[in-house]
Copies of this chain bind each other. A is one copy, B any other.
């Protein structure tokens, strides 16, 4: 874990943070999450081992997380208050601070690839809505029908949230049945901050970060959280650190959580562990900022702090076994 002159490539990822619900968790459900995280870590690890850039590794890891309906990004994204999907993503390269992001897109299968196309274009950083969709489609990103993202579980979550907020008519029978089956995951999906993200250091010593999300269940149409915003939910700078956040997006925006970790390291001389702890444990909670972040610094150190009861998380150094964890009381292998 200590820094070396020749850093070993490493990737870390998260699949959201939130409230722990021990009831209704079967060993099989837990295993499904752990195995999926491990597989995606291995995919990123393999890329890094082949000499891929950190940017390629985090893009591919987030694409795989988007493809997996277990997580709130891409396929399996949560619903807005109007029962639609509005997706956000961001990628950033630490070597030159190149960045690309999309927000409020509805028909792009992999928002992270759209963000990557924006980065590659070299001109805009953030594109929103239909303009972002047209830009991405013109650059070869894949379109899907709006209902491609939906799953029965997510729709039941929307109905559950709306019912508890008094916003919804009576649930139909199908939704009632689905609701009775919730939660189906180790973290309570109704109070989880769903986001996926990855950070990596490559063999050339470069950092990168990527984040993607469907936002929060029952969100206002047009609401954008921290995920696609450079410095809020996503940041990478070869001088310091790569960061991807998950949590109450508004607090992470107001705290500039990702950039603040970098600034504390760069200007106050804090270690990665101290800077990440300060932001997650001291600065975010007064703003209502429940959640966490994953970070890799330029020496290859890893930090995965969160202030909730759990965070789907893992990391893998090239040449070593991946480590995966969900709960706060689990050892995730990182060191302070």
* Residues in chain A within 8 A of chain B (CB atoms): 97-99, 103-104, 123-132, 134-135, 220-225, 229-232, 235, 249-250, 253-256, 259-260, 263-264, 266-268, 287
Contact = CB atoms under 8 A, between A and B. Distances in A.
Identical copies of this chain, number: 2
Given A232-B231, A253-B230, A287-B97, A131 B223 contact: yes
A264 B287 CA distance: 22
B127 A128 contact: no
Contacts of A264: 267
A264 B262 CA distance: 12
B222 A129 contact: yes
B222 A127 contact: yes
A128 B125 contact: no
A225 B287 CA distance: 25
Nearest to A269: B267
B127 A224 contact: yes
A188 to B, nearest CB: 21
A126 B254 contact: no
A224 B222 CA distance: 14
B254 A135 contact: no
Given A231-B256, A259-B256, A222 B130 contact: yes
* Most chain B beta-carbon neighbours within 10 Å: one of A134, A222, A268: A222
A259 B231 contact: yes
Contact of A250 (B123, B134, B231, B287): B123
Nearest to A131: B222
A230 B254 contact: yes
Contacts of A256: 230-231, 235, 256, 259
Given A127-B222, A224-B127, A99 B254 contact: yes
Contacts of A260: 259, 263
A94 to B, nearest CB: 11
Contacts of A125: 249-250, 253-254
Nearest to A231: B256
A259 to B, nearest CB: 5
A102 to B, nearest CB: 9
A19 B99 CA distance: 26
A131 B221 contact: yes
A313 to B, nearest CB: 25
